Structure 1
Amino acid sequence: MWNGVSCSKRHPGRVVSLFLQSQGLVGLLSPNIGNLSFLRVIDLQNNTFSCLIPQEIGRLRRLQVIEFSNNSFGGGIPTNLSQCTSLYYLNLIDNKLTGGIVPEIASLVRLQHLGLSVNMLSGTIPPFLGNLTDLLRRSLGTCQFQGEIPESLTRLSRLWFLVMSDDGLTGSIPLGLFNPPSVEHFGFDFNRLNGNIPVDICSTLPKLRRLYLNYNNFSGALPASLSNSSLIESIEVGAVLTDLVGLTSLLADTNNLKGLIPSSIGKLHNLQYITIHENRLTNEKPFSLGNLTLLNALSLALNNLSGSIPQSLANCTNLSELNLSYNNFSGLIPPEIIKLSSISIGLDLSHNVLTGTIPSEVGALRNLGYMDLSHNRLSGTIPPSLGSCVMLSLLHLERNSFQGEIPDSLRALRGLEYLDLSQNNLSGVIPRFLVEISG
């Protein structure tokens, strides 16, 4: 008996399963696989099989499970799979398959799991997939599909995992796809979809845990119904939020979302990551965010936010990255934030209308990797305490109104790779240590 090979007890010598995952196997899959007529399960995931999946696999009428993910199989999906009428699990994710979804797949009426993501499959999503009404999990993302989502897919009422991310899909999501009551994972991000997100999305998807709709062209208001769910763990689209107490990540970047950032977001005390950049959000004081003491990263860049930067963000003592760039924030940089020593990845306040000086408390950012304060109306001298930010690799101070000389303390920034002080009112000579750093 070989490891990973199981034989039938009723029919000795007849192989019924091959569990050969992660064995370092390479080359082609022999057409002789079709001779194992009692085979029910074949698991070859995480190897380096290449070339075509042999058509002979269609001889395996008893086959129930095909697990070929994370290999390098090429060519098309074998049409002879239509003969494997007992198949309920087909996973071809992360290969190099080409062509379209072959119509023979429609014969696999017992299929519950269909995984075709991360391939080079193309064409449109075929309407016949809507006939596979036993499907529980369907993953078609990260391929080269195009066109609209067929209305027939709304017949898949048993789905709990529905992902078609990172394709070239256009049009709107059929409303019926927001109705399967068992859906927990709903992902259509990184497409070119449009329309509105249904206002009752959490009423129609009561078991929803993960929602991914970012990087599309959705418009309209954020659905208030999401506030009725206590199950949601991660959102990448945005929502009116009140009772999502388990939420740890909120990502809604690169959409056309507009309106106010709700003050109720400050009640989500488990939030660690918020990314809502590149939208049309407005609010002078959207910062009940200062209540989120576990927050690790906050990006509100490329919106229409205005007013002063709230001092309450200094309560976010776990914050490692803060990006408020490309907004209309005005007034002074709060010293309480600039001395938040937890900020270690980056601080980006560029492209606003901030005034005043850089607070001397900036020296507390000893572990900061990059700082961008460019394209503001800052003035005064560059504070010598900036030399205490010894981990800086990028420093952007261009397009302000700084005066005076470049402080000698900057010689301590031995890891500095990029420094831009252009278009200010600096005077004096270029310090020799800048030449030494560049060398």
Structure 2
Amino acid sequence: MVNLSSHLFLLSLSLHCCFIACLAANTKNITTDQSALLAFKSLITSDPYDVLANNWSTSSSVCNWIGVTCDERHGRVHSLILRNMSLRGTVSPNLGNLSFLVILDLKNNSFGGQLPTELYRLRRLKILHISYNEFEGGIPAALGDLSQLEYLYLGVNNFSGFIPQSIGNLHQLKELGIGRNKMSGPIPQTILNMSSLEVLHLSSNYFSGEIPSLNNMTSLRVVKFGFNNLNGRLPNDFFNQLPQLEKFALNNNQFEGSIPQSIGNCTSLIFLDLSSNFLTGEIPKGILGDLRRLNTLHLGNNQLSGNISLIFKFNSSLLQEIDLSYNNLSGNLPSCICHELPNLRIFYLHHNDISGNMSTVWNQCEELEILSLAFNSFNKGPMPDGIRNMTKLQELYLMRNNLEGEIPWLNNMTSLRVVNFAFNNLNGRLPNDFFNQLPQLRNFSLYNNQFEGSIPQSIGNCTSLIYLDLSSNFLTGMLYFLSRHIYLK
């Protein structure tokens, strides 16, 4: 009996000591969090709005500081969110002591230097957002230790070096943004281990080599690889297992070969940009017939070929932007463009080999804002009269299109900012009121045509005009309209 009492007493004493020790430890942890944040504050060299200077004080609880949120259960710092505060300085390694931190968001400030390696001890971290700063240096392999990360944004900084292979350990990651840095090397194959990934943004770096197959990454919605040095060919089955894909950009790289037919499987695709590569062959039928949600199609500056009349058999009435410029497309431009694409706003077809008569039904493109048909091989003929009824048109480029005759009256096109009719055989006289209702006009060129007569006095109404080129014509009269600075060629 004595032994039992002794054991109970010792057990009670042990539990009491444990409670006191735990309480002391918790108090110490809160103090540790406060010390870590004060150390962070001490390295802030500019706080223009005095956010931290006036608020982060030991006279109040850490959990009441601006940008700080505490976990009610543990009484520890749970999140540090200081975005858009114009803070400048370096990040203290003491932040690595915030062992319960789940969210660290320093977006859009001016923090510089290297990211402290101590931050990779924050094993509970789910969101790390430090985009739009001035961080530099490499991304260490220790990044892979943050196994709970779901959102990682490092974009618009000065990070350099390779993406570590350990990034494949981030199995919970949903969004990865490293765009607009100075990263180089290949995209690691281990990225395929991140099967939960929905957004992959690596644009505007110096990545090179081929793209890993993305076929097991079925959750991907957004893929942006533009403005890098990536190359190779896209295999035919590249798009086979990307059913959620909404945005895909490979623009400004060095890809060659044809566009995979499997692109037609991406029926959720809204935005596709493969411009400025070395792609060849015809535009796949899948783009034309199966991508019914497609809003933006950029295929310009490649070596694509094919008959334009076949290309414009779209099943997507949602298309608003089409760029097919600087390719080898040929054939006659069909007259059903506006009917098939009622929401078309931007249409670039310049520098191809389009022939036949220029369509006369442009007035049916009621939403069109930019139209560029320049440098093609249209038959000689007058400028389409229907153009003057495109009341939303802002930019019109018809250079070197074998146009002849007079210009239609543009007076109801009050949204026009840029007009370029250079290198044609247009002629006649410009009526005195030609410029009466073009208040937005900024750039106007009739270079190398056959106009005669005097320059209309109404050009003085174009108060936004900054560039005017009427050279290489037969114009006469005096320059009495220049009441302000205009670049006159």
Q: State the TM-score, normalizing by the size of structure 2.
A: 0.77
1:413 aligns with one of 472, 478, 482: 482
Q: CA deviation at 1:256?
A: 4.4
Counting only pairs closer than 5 Å after superposition, residues 67-78 of structure 1 correspond to structure 2 as: 67-78=129-140
1:7 aligns with one of 50, 70, 84: 70
Question: Unpaired segments of 5 or more residues in structure 2?
Answer: 1-62, 301-310
SS in 1 for 2:172: coil
User: Match for 1:397: what amino acid?
Assistant: L
Counting only pairs closer than 5 Å after superposition, residues 77-88 of structure 1 correspond to structure 2 as: 77-88=139-150
Give, in whole Å, the separation in 1 of the partners of 2:159 and 2:330: 40
Runs of 4+ in 1 over 6 A off after TM superposition: none
CA contact (8 A) 1:365 1:388 kept: no
CA contact (8 A) 1:127 1:153 kept: no
1:296 alignment partner in structure 2: 369
Give, in whole Å, the separation in 2 of the partners of 1:168 and 1:118: 13
Determine if the alignment matches structure 1 residue 356 to structure 2 residue 417: no
Q: State the TM-score, normalizing by the size of structure 1.
A: 0.85
1:395 aligns with one of 449, 468, 474: 468
1:320 aligns with one of 380, 394, 398: 394
Question: Unpaired segments of 5 or more residues in structure 1?
Answer: 421-439
1:204 alignment partner in structure 2: 265
Determine if the alignment matches structure 1 residue 372 to structure 2 residue 433: no
User: Match for 1:270: what amino acid?
Assistant: N
1:193 alignment partner in structure 2: 255
Q: CA deviation at 1:387?
A: 4.0
CA contact (8 A) 1:224 1:241 kept: no
User: Match for 1:276: what amino acid?
Assistant: L
Give, in whole Å, the separation in 1 of the partners of 2:188 and 2:356: 43
1:54 alignment partner in structure 2: 116
* RMSD, aligned α-carbons: 2.4
User: Match for 2:257: what amino acid?
Assistant: G
Determine if the alignment matches structure 1 residue 125 to structure 2 residue 187: yes
Determine if the alignment matches structure 1 residue 263 to structure 2 residue 335: yes
Give, in whole Å, the separation in 2 of the partners of 1:4 and 1:143: 31
Deviations 1:164-198 (A, max 9, x none): 11112222334343230100011111222222234
Deviations 1:198-232 (A, max 9, x none): 4463x311101111122223233334433444322
Give, in whole Å, the separation in 1 of the partners of 2:239 and 2:359: 30
Deviations 1:74-121 (A, max 9, x none): 101132111111112111111110111122212222222111101111
Give, in whole Å, the separation in 2 of the partners of 1:358 and 1:79: 71
2:228 alignment partner in structure 1: 167
CA contact (8 A) 1:72 1:96 kept: yes
1:311 alignment partner in structure 2: 385
SS in 2 for 1:328: coil
Determine if the alignment matches structure 1 residue 222 to structure 2 residue 269: no
Change (3 A) 1:343 1:374: farther
User: Match for 2:317: what amino acid?
Assistant: V
CA contact (8 A) 2:111 2:133 kept: yes
Change (3 A) 1:385 1:248: same
Give, in whole Å, the separation in 2 of the partners of 1:266 and 1:100: 47
User: Match for 1:6: what amino acid?
Assistant: T
Determine if the alignment matches structure 1 residue 332 to structure 2 residue 405: yes
Change (3 A) 1:54 1:314: same
Larger radius of gyration between Structure 1 and Structure 2: 2
Determine if the alignment matches structure 1 residue 148 to structure 2 residue 210: yes
CA contact (8 A) 1:22 1:47 kept: yes
Determine if the alignment matches structure 1 residue 182 to structure 2 residue 279: no
User: Match for 2:312: what amino acid?
Assistant: V
2:357 alignment partner in structure 1: 284
Change (3 A) 1:243 1:31: same
Q: CA deviation at 1:287?
A: 4.5
2:322 aligns with one of 250, 253, 259: 250
CA contact (8 A) 1:41 1:63 kept: yes
SS in 1 for 2:336: helix
2:6 alignment partner in structure 1: none
2:199 aligns with one of 118, 123, 137: 137
The aligned length equals 409
Give, in whole Å, the separation in 2 of the partners of 1:283 and 1:102: 54
SS in 2 for 1:307: coil
Q: CA deviation at 1:69?
A: 1.1
1:432 alignment partner in structure 2: none
User: Match for 1:33: what amino acid?
Assistant: L
Q: CA deviation at 1:386?
A: 5.8
User: Match for 1:363: what amino acid?
Assistant: F
Q: Sequence identity, in percent? A: 33
Give, in whole Å, the separation in 2 of the partners of 1:288 and 1:228: 26
Change (3 A) 1:279 1:166: farther
Give, in whole Å, the separation in 2 of the partners of 1:283 and 1:214: 26
CA contact (8 A) 2:369 2:392 kept: yes
Change (3 A) 1:191 1:157: same
Comparing 92-101 and 126-135, the one that deviates more? 126-135
SS in 1 for 2:248: strand
User: Match for 1:3: what amino acid?
Assistant: I
